[in-house]
Every structure is written in structure tokens, then in C-alpha cells.
């Protein structure tokens, strides 16, 4: 078992714990986390302002992907197989009925006019008597339809985004906070020694004689006894112990609030911070 002096030795090595380095790292990491959060907010803010300042044509190229267009067509003009559209693709154009063409022009007519495109008309459909007229689309017509769908998706999205931004943006702002570090160093030592001695002595002596006459014979006898007992015992107990413990604790408390940042359109038609 280590001697009790080890506890004192442990106390003298306190500088090896690197408590100042621990405190410095805690402060640095907390500061970096706050700065990183603020940078991300500013980047998101700048990206949002940039998007709402785009024209609808620029916005649709960035904010509307081909899958969005396909999903729109599947929802409005589903194909015979799941996950397909009756419009088909530019490589494999589909077939639309006269009813489908009427719906297509009603939903995408404004977008086609805005883009100066011509959608396939219901009167272009033909068929046998008694059957609903149909029209086999060309690859060019499929491309025209997809362009109109893209504009139909992008327009409302951009308007909704502008409306949202015009109401203002909520930012997270740090008001105040506390960074606290704490070091608890405990050391204990104890020693215990106990010794017990015991001695025990005992002595005894006895002697005797006898005489007698028997049938003409004379007998003489004698005896003697001596006993000596000596016992010596010793019990010794020793105990020595040492203990050292180190607790390092770090606590970060930051108070934040939501800061409402209103925006307004600028003279160029875009959006910026209000004065």
C-alpha cells in the first residue's frame, strides 16, 4: 500500500492537470460556436435576399428542379403505370385526350402566353367516331409543356417567398451569458499503527513418599513433579493509506432572444434592410 505521503505528492503536481488550458479551450469553443451561428444566420439572410431579388425566370432555374415538374405532371395527368405521366418525356412523348388538353390549356394558358409559347390545343385532337379524340404529342410539345409547368411552379413560390420576407426575419441574438470553470482537488491521508504484547508464566512443584510392611517385606517409595509454562504473544497492526481526487467542471450559460428584422423593397425592386 502506498505511503500517506503520496497524497501530498499528488497535491504538488496540480499544475500537470492543465486547468488554465481547459478554461481557455472552453471559452474559445463557446466563442467560436456563437460566431459560427451568427455567420450562418447572415449567410442564410443574404441568400434569402438574393433569391427574392431574382426575376421569376432566374428563380425558376435555381429553385425548381426537373423532378418538381415531373411530379406536377404526374399529379395532373397520371399515366397508366404508377409514377408516370400521360404527357410522357421528350424522348418518349405521350398521348393526351381532348379533355386533358382542355385542362392543360386552362391551367397553363397564362404561363404559355407569358413565355410566348403555344400549347397543343384541344382542337388538335382527333379520333374515330364514338371515341374521345386524342393527340400524340411530339418531343417539342412535351418540352413546351414542361417549360410552362416550371413557370407555374416558380411564380407562386417566388411570390410566397417575397411575402414572407416582407414580413421580416427573426434572428437569434445573444444578450449575455456566463462561462464558468471549477476545479475541486481533494486529498486525504491516514496512518494507523497498533501493537499488543502479552506474556504468561506458570510454575508448579509437588513431592511425596510412602512406606509399608507387607508379608515380611518393607517397601519404601517416593515421587516428585515439577511443571513450568511460559507463553509470550505479540500482535501488531499497521495501516497506511492516501487518496487524491480531481474534479474539473465547465458550465456555459447563454441568454438569447429573437430579434425581429423587418425588410422592405428597395427602389430597384429588390429587398433590403429597412432603415
Which pLDDT tens digit goes with each residue over 37-91? Answer: 888 888 887 787 788 888 888 888 888 999 999 999 999 999 988 889 999 999 9
Domain boundaries, the chain: 18-53+171-187+248-259, 64-167
Coil/strand/helix, residue 263? strand
Give how far the C-alpha of residue 129 lies from the chain's centroid of Cα atoms, to the nearest Å: 66
Round to whole Å and give the CA distance between 243 and 147: 78
The model carries a pTM of 0.54
Q: Could you list the beta-strand ranges (E) of 6-55.
A: none
**Pairing label, strands 169-214, 217-261:** antiparallel
How many residues does the structure list for the chain? 275
Average pLDDT on 97-117 reads 93
pLDDT in tens, 192-225: 566 666 665 555 555 555 545 444 544 555 555 5
Amino acid at each position: 500500500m502506498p505511503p500517506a505521503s503520496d497524497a501530498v505528492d499528488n497535491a504538488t503536481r496540480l499544475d500537470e492537470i492543465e486547468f488554465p488550458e481547459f478554461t481557455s479551450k472552453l471559452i474559445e469553443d463557446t466563442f467560436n460556436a456563437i460566431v459560427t451561428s451568427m455567420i450562418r444566420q447572415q449567410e442564410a439572410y443574404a441568400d434569402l435576399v438574393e433569391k427574392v431579388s431574382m426575376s421569376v425566370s432566374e428563380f425558376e432555374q435555381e429553385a425548381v428542379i426537373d423532378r418538381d415538374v415531373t411530379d406536377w405532371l404526374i399529379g395532373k395527368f397520371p399515366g397508366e403505370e404508377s409514377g408516370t405521366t400521360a404527357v410522357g418525356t421528350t424522348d418518349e412523348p405521350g398521348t393526351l385526350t381532348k379533355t386533358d388538353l382542355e385542362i392543360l390549356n386552362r391551367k397553363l394558358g397564362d404561363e404559355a402566353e407569358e413565355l410566348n409559347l403555344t400549347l397543343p390545343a384541344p382542337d388538335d385532337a382527333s379520333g374515330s367516331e364514338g371515341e374521345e379524340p386524342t393527340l400524340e404529342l411530339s418531343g417539342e410539345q412535351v418540352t413546351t409543356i414542361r417549360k410552362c409547368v416550371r413557370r407555374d411552379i416558380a411564380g407562386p413560390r417566388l411570390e410566397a417567398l417575397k411575402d414572407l420576407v416582407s414580413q421580416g426575419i427573426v434572428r437569434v441574438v445573444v444578450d449575455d451569458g456566463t462561462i464558468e470553470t471549477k476545479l475541486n482537488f481533494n486529498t486525504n491521508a491516514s496512518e494507523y499503527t497498533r501493537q499488543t504484547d502479552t506474556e504468561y508464566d506458570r510454575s508448579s512443584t509437588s513431592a511425596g513418599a510412602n512406606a509399608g510392611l507387607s508379608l515380611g517385606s518393607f517397601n519404601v517409595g517416593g515421587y516428585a513433579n515439577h511443571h513450568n509454562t511460559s507463553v509470550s504473544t505479540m500482535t501488531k497492526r499497521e495501516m497506511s493509506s492516501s487518496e487524491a481526487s480531481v474534479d474539473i467542471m465547465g458550465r456555459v450559460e447563454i441568454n438569447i432572444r429573437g430579434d425581429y428584422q423587418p425588410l422592405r423593397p428597395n427602389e430597384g425592386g429588390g429587398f433590403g434592410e429597412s432603415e
